[in-house]
Structure 1
Amino acid sequence: MRQVVILRPEPGASRTAAKARALGLEPVLLPLFAPEPLPWSPPDAGDFDALLLTSANGVRMAGAGLEKYRGLPVYAVGEATAQALREAGFDQVIAGMGDGNAIAARLRTDGRRRVLHLAGTTVAPMDIGGLSVRRVPVYSMASLTPDLTPIDRADADAILLVHSPRAGERLSALLPPARRSGLHIVAISPAALAACGEGWASTHAVSRPDDDEMLALARRLCE
């Protein structure tokens, strides 16, 4: 059984690991990044008709400023983000199971126009046509140093899960081509896959940007 190396930051890393174990896989957690809160000034809630969160980290890193928006309809990308909002005390959360484009379409369908997006400093592209979106960074993803990201712990034929283009770039920087020949890449998107560079034993991008799809593909590679 090949190792399945999870490079995404917490808390997503542990969620992915739990699902991997349920599939009979052998996960190893080697996050490349850790979230850090940023100072921010909460805009006036009256300027918006919806609140958008695209990451559970945004919920956790926003701090006390998040309380200001309890009166707004709240939209979330992914069940993990929605659950983080519920745990923060938001009762009415509209969760989108697709990507940012899907939740933007839902916002338009629901008649929302002025959206506050609490996010990280790096955000996946999103079609915001028809929406006025104010994006406020509340956290950043800090690259962990090589001693805190001991990628050398991975077995020579491990499967590496790459959840973002930035993770692919960081992985490519940490592992020169001479050390890639036995390792397999499973990426969440073609962009994340391209960021990993060349020289890997095999490279794969899932058809839908979904954690479960990545794990299903990793399981097939272990067979």
Structure 2
Amino acid sequence: MRNAIVVRPAPGGGQTIARLAALGIPALEFPLFVIAPVAWSPLNETFDALLVTSANAMRHGGIGLEALTALPVVAVGEGSARAARAAGFQVAVTGAADGREAVEGAHQVGFSRLLHLAGRDRIDLPGVTSMTVYRSDALYPPPGALEVACGQVALLHSPRAARHFAALVDRDAVPRHKVRIAALSEAVAQSVGGGWGTIGVAPRPDDVVLTALAAKLAIDP
């Protein structure tokens, strides 16, 4: 059985580790990013709903979120929806793919003006107003550190994490074909590139689903 490598930053990384442990999969927490809040103030504009594409927006949004709790939330997936509910918001739409799909779902129920509470490094979506409420700073472990991924399963939660992980694996001359990838979405799978032993894509962008996929990849011959 393979081990799992979790590059997701805290506190999400710890949650993923716990889910893997419940499935009997040993895992190494190896964060490649650190999350920090960014000072911001709500815009003096009218919106129909908030777009949330990462739980980090809810965890690190700070007191500015208090002025927005009357707005319904359009969440990209179950993880973002859970974080929004925990922060006191009502979730009106929960997507099952990516930000574009979530925006389409919002338009279908009549939400035309969306405020995206987002990270500093993001892909802006057409017709959506974005507000930076947190940042994700990349970490660079010492040379050779990614050798730990050889023969294991890596869980990747975002396109940016996928690109960073792939670059570090190549830097440390780890053979890609000896690493299996569990990707949160098709966009993540595309961002990590080719040459891996296996790339599995979660059918929904949810950490619970991703950890189940990673467990399968860890056990499969």
| Band of TM-score, shorter chain | 0.7 to 0.9
Give, in angstroms, the shift of residue 61 of structure 1: 1.8
The within-5 A match list for 1:164-179 is 164-176=158-170, 178-179=173-174
Q: Distance in 2 between matches of 1:68 and 1:86?
A: 15
Unaligned runs of 5+ in 1: none
Q: Distance in 2 between matches of 1:117 and 1:6?
A: 27
Q: Distance in 2 between matches of 1:190 and 1:113?
A: 26
Unaligned runs of 5+ in 2: none
**What is the DSSP-based 3-state SS (H/G/I as helix, E as strand, rest coil) of the residue aligned with 1:176?**
helix
Q: Distance in 1 between matches of 2:184 and 2:43?
A: 33
Aligned-pair Cα RMSD in Å:
2.6
- Cα distance change on mapping 1:143 and 1:68 into 2, 3 Å: same
Q: Which amino acid is 1:41 matched to?
A: S
**What is the DSSP-based 3-state SS (H/G/I as helix, E as strand, rest coil) of the residue aligned with 1:117?**
strand
Check whether the contact 2:8–2:31 (CA below 8 A) recurs between aligned residues. yes
**What is the DSSP-based 3-state SS (H/G/I as helix, E as strand, rest coil) of the residue aligned with 2:178?**
coil
Question: What corresponds to 1:142 in structure 2?
Answer: 137
The correspondence for 1:219, drawn from 211, 215, 219, is 215
- Cα distance change on mapping 1:41 and 1:179 into 2, 3 Å: same
Check whether the contact 1:30–1:151 (CA below 8 A) recurs between aligned residues. no
Q: Distance in 2 between matches of 1:84 and 1:193?
A: 24
**What is the DSSP-based 3-state SS (H/G/I as helix, E as strand, rest coil) of the residue aligned with 2:66?**
helix
Give, in angstroms, the shift of residue 124 of structure 1: 5.2
- What is the TM-score when the length of structure 2 is the normalising length? 0.82
Confirm whether residue 12 of structure 1 aligns to residue 12 of structure 2. yes
Q: Which runs of 4+ in 1 moved over 4 A?
A: none
Q: Distance in 2 between matches of 1:50 and 1:187?
A: 28
- After superposition, give the CA deviation of every residue in 1:173-223 in whole Å (9 maximum; x if it has no partner): 2122732253222223444334334554x0313162433443333333323
Question: What corresponds to 1:205 in structure 2?
Answer: 200
Question: What corresponds to 1:117 in structure 2?
Answer: 116
Q: Distance in 2 between matches of 1:125 and 1:133?
A: 7
- Cα distance change on mapping 1:174 and 1:80 into 2, 3 Å: same
Q: Distance in 1 between matches of 2:75 and 2:188?
A: 22
- Cα distance change on mapping 1:191 and 1:30 into 2, 3 Å: same
Confirm whether residue 96 of structure 1 aligns to residue 90 of structure 2. no
Structure 1, 48-57 or 178-187: larger mean CA deviation: 178-187
Check whether the contact 1:162–1:187 (CA below 8 A) recurs between aligned residues. yes
- Cα distance change on mapping 1:111 and 1:6 into 2, 3 Å: same
Aligned length: 214
Check whether the contact 2:189–2:201 (CA below 8 A) recurs between aligned residues. no
Q: Distance in 2 between matches of 1:56 and 1:179?
A: 31
- Cα distance change on mapping 1:123 and 1:109 into 2, 3 Å: same
Question: What corresponds to 1:193 in structure 2?
Answer: 189
Q: Distance in 1 between matches of 2:124 and 2:24?
A: 34
- After superposition, give the CA deviation of every residue in 1:51-78 in whole Å (9 maximum; x if it has no partner): 2222110112221111111222233233
Q: Distance in 1 between matches of 2:104 and 2:192?
A: 30
Confirm whether residue 157 of structure 1 aligns to residue 156 of structure 2. no
Give, in angstroms, the shift of residue 97 of structure 1: 4.3
Identity score, percent: 40
